[in-house]
Chain A
């Protein structure tokens, strides 16, 4: 199972050169890049761990690529993503976000159905890996 969060998950894995081109695009728009990682890929997990602060002052795509690679080296079997942040008034949010590293094996999600009143079902999505403690999931 391939998790398809992020802007380019339906494409073949981006090469380092392709990743760097996207970083360059973000920098050209005046956005700041940050790197985040997690081993909890629940679709509503808003807070992946930050691999350092957003790099507000780093305007060099190669420099950001080094951080990406540091993160990938430190967490080779986690999900890693790059976010590009736009601080323009009335946006002040992420403008681009894509996965650049995945665990070797992605077991996916269990759908838990709790049968409730009438024909109502309450649904819960649980990553199969979430049964294990953080850091020991993949």
Chain B
């Protein structure tokens, strides 16, 4: 949609006369605007109400996420309001929506925000604008923040991950392969002593990490101090039995910030190398805990509990790729980013897009993976993505092919549910992983030969054979609700 006409009223007397104007008359629609290198750029998916044209809807989003109110105010003239206004500068129809399709017409609206609008180093402030009032705005049926380009100038005001992938590996002395984890199951009801048993068995069997689940905090069946004490006994015993650094993500999520600091301090005192928080604690808490982790040499694991309430539906909410960008800025070291092959939502290309956001120094625009913008991360440290939920050893070739080495693969049920016990489950996963990495490095085609490589390792590793036998037919092949709108176009071969 290459409209060039500007609809802005330029005569100041008319523009600021009391009354109601269309947003595009107020200056929020500027089709000839060239975004600056220092602008924050957002692309929103908008579904306008009947009778609202796309330009006006885009202008309204720009207005409501920056300076506008519903009527003209003369006090705008006390400010350099042209710079404070966000500018919608491009509107494209979304492929495969509108007339002749099953889906009502949607648009991608590109909006630029001057960096003066945002407080340095504050995700809370950025989100209060970009996903504030605007998401309840009546002229839109639905609105989704698809992607964001954060300018280098603004990125440099964030400290980013407390530890980062590189330093995490140097602290753990583990290189050249994905890390392995497991979430303790059942997630609720175990006493501290029984819980620590699961941790010990899984770590001593071969996993690098075990994990509290998102809703393990301090309930009547297991108070947090009991959990921390027993888990650290387990971690240290497993370290001595293997000679490797081991860890357990101690979830310090609590009702207040003060409680969280108290829990984190005990984790440090007991010698834990990692603590964990849930996404639902909110941006300010995440940034505070990142500062704490940085100050105390702690890896900060984030479980994305709650994100599905606003990331999953394609027409309304926020894409997880935007949440991933904010989390990297906010400064977590690990984040759950999907498995593609496991039990939870995620189309493989879209999930790979999230992983690239976590790990790359520079994201190139990559529409099939949902990446709308080039993003220079300005040397901000990288986040280790975590693949967790319904994965097992029999999928090792797919997981390694999809995600490479820089990932934590978490096999909860796939470890603890092993027929020969938790240690055997952990060993099966570790052997499957190392065998697959070795084969890949030797130049073998792991997607084609994966099952054969696993079968060969299972011939000398009984636990792996048992794992393959019991889970061989488990797949979660459901259609994804959040997929890319852009299909890679085939190019003619020369």
Contacts and interface: CB of A to CB of B under 8 A. Distances in A.
Interface stretch (B181-189, B230-238, B416-424): B230-238
Contacts of B382: 90
B269 interface: yes
B438 A4 contact: no
Contact of B177 (A7, A18, A44, A91): A7
Q: Which among A11, A109, A127 has the highest number of chain B CB atoms within 10 Å?
A: A11
B431 A10 contact: yes
Interface of B: 166, 169-170, 173, 175-177, 206, 225, 229, 232-233, 236-237, 239-245, 269-271, 361, 379, 382, 427, 430-431, 434-435, 437-438, 441-443, 457, 460
Contact of B236 (A5, A12, A123): A123
5 contacts: A5-B243, A10-B431, A94-B176, A96-B176, A120-B269
A4 B245 contact: no
Given A8-B438, A120-B269, A92 B431 contact: no
Q: Which among B170, B241, B242 has the highest number of chain A CB atoms within 10 Å?
A: B242
A46 B173 CA distance: 8
A101 to B, nearest CB: 15
Interface in A35-66: 41, 43-44, 46
Contacts of A4: 206, 242-244
B169 A111 contact: no
A130 interface: no
A83 to B, nearest CB: 8
B126 to A, nearest CB: 24
Contacts of B244: 3-5, 43
Interface size classification for chain A: 35 or more
Contacts of A92: 166
Q: Which among A84, A90, A125 has the highest number of chain B CB atoms within 10 Å?
A: A90
Contacts, number: 110
Given A11-B434, A12-B460, A120 B229 contact: yes
Contacts of B443: 21, 25
Contacts of B437: 7-8
A34 B202 CA distance: 32
Name the 10 nearest CB pairs between A and B, nearest first. A96-B176, A3-B243, A123-B236, A111-B240, A25-B441, A7-B176, A109-B240, A97-B175, A21-B442, A10-B430
A25 B411 CA distance: 28
Interface of A: 1, 3-5, 7-12, 14, 18, 21-22, 25, 41, 43-44, 46, 83-84, 89-98, 108-111, 119-123, 125, 127
Nearest to A89: B361
A21 B440 CA distance: 11
Contacts of A22: 438, 441-442
B240 A125 contact: yes
A127 B241 CA distance: 11
Given A12-B460, A90-B382, 12 more contacts: A5-B173, A7-B434, A18-B442, A43-B243, A43-B245, A44-B173, A95-B176, A111-B236, A119-B229, A123-B236, A123-B271, A125-B239
Given A7-B177, A98-B176, A123-B232, A43 B239 contact: yes
Given A25-B443, A109-B240, A94 B175 contact: yes
Contacts of A111: 236-237, 239-240
A108 B176 contact: no
A91 B166 contact: yes
Contacts of A93: 166, 169-170, 175
Contacts of A120: 229, 269-270
B176 A41 contact: no
A82 B238 CA distance: 25
Nearest to B377: A90
Contacts of B173: 5, 43-44, 46, 97
Contacts of B239: 43, 109, 111, 125
A55 B239 CA distance: 32
Contacts of A94: 169-170, 175-176
Contacts of A96: 175-176, 441
A96 B178 CA distance: 11
A46 B169 CA distance: 12
